[in-house]
Amino acid sequence: MRDALGAVQSVLVLGGTSEIGLAIAERLAGRRAATVVLAGRDPESLRASAEELRAAGAGRVEVIDFDAQDPARHRDTLTEAARVAGGDLDVVVVAFGLLGDQTVDESGGDGAVRVATTNYVGAVSAGLAAADHLRRQGHGAIVALSSVAGERVRRANFIYGSSKAGMDGFFQGLGDSLVGSGVSVLIVRPGFVRTRMTEGMSAAPFATTAAAVAEATVRGLRAGREVVWVPGLLRVVFAVFRHLPRPVWRRIPS
């Protein structure tokens, strides 16, 4: 539970090696030495991430197992996270996701299914588990890391973009369903973010960093926002892009 000054005391990051998720946790936990629980599939990488957060000032960092593609265990993950955090969870960050390889995945194989299963099915399952847990607590916030790629899907990355479009729409509805429960949902829509996941890719216009996304997220939580665009100018850009005729949209450079 947040303290008397409203500061976060516990954070769960689903996708505990995500650079953006870790940056958010660092900013939420470091100032108050709060507890962070990192949940993911790779124990070694989780331990390394935990050391980074401890060095940044988090009070206590724990790691637990989590697989986005194993929905049957997601509710148990929330229960375990609350237990190791010592009680309540103040913020749950849904930070996992797969970018995939559009060229390869659209040509066959199971790559597209993995992207869709992780980014959409996994997010729906984890989101519902988090919402149920926080609703029973009577307080808390869910941060859903979406993407502008889902705002209007492009030919160049339509598999990833469509999975984020579905994920974004789900969390919009989830947020509406939680009004009055004491639980809120913040959807974060960054543009191209320079991280390990995008290393080697050509940066899109208005590219940003994990640190900038984290700062915008923390400000959004404090302000009680429902949606945050990073950078903010992308909200205006996509207000235009959303209404372009499809023949024109297809000619937008990838």
Would you list the domain boundaries of the chain?
10-249
Residues of the chain with pLDDT under 70: 1-6, 31, 199-204, 254
Where in the chain does DSSP place strands (E)?
A: 10-14, 35-40, 60-65, 91-94, 140-145, 183-190, 193-194, 208-209, 227-230
Nearest to 167 by CA among 92, 102, 115: 115
Question: Hey, CA dihedral for 199, 204, 209, 213, is it positive or negative?
Answer: negative
User: How confident is the model at residue 118, as a pLDDT?
Assistant: 98
Pick among 2.10.109.10, 1.10.3210.10, 3.40.50.720, 3.40.30.10: CATH of 10-249: 3.40.50.720
Which residue of the set 66, 96, 160, 171 is catalytic? 160
The whole-number pLDDT of residue 4 equals 32
Residue 58: predicted pLDDT: 87
Angle ∠(150,223,18) on CA atoms, nearest 5: 45
* 160 in catalytic set: yes
What's this model's pTM, rounded to 2 decimal places? 0.93
In angstroms, the CA 135 to CA 183 distance is: 6
pLDDT digits (tens, 9 = 90+) for 115-171: 999 999 999 999 999 999 999 999 999 999 999 999 999 999 999 999 999 999 999
Query: Dihedral of CA 190/194/199/202: which sign?
Result: positive
Q: What is the pLDDT of residue 31?
A: 66
Structure tokens belonging to residue 46 = 């989780």
**Residues making up the chain, counted from first to last:** 254
Amino acid at 184: S
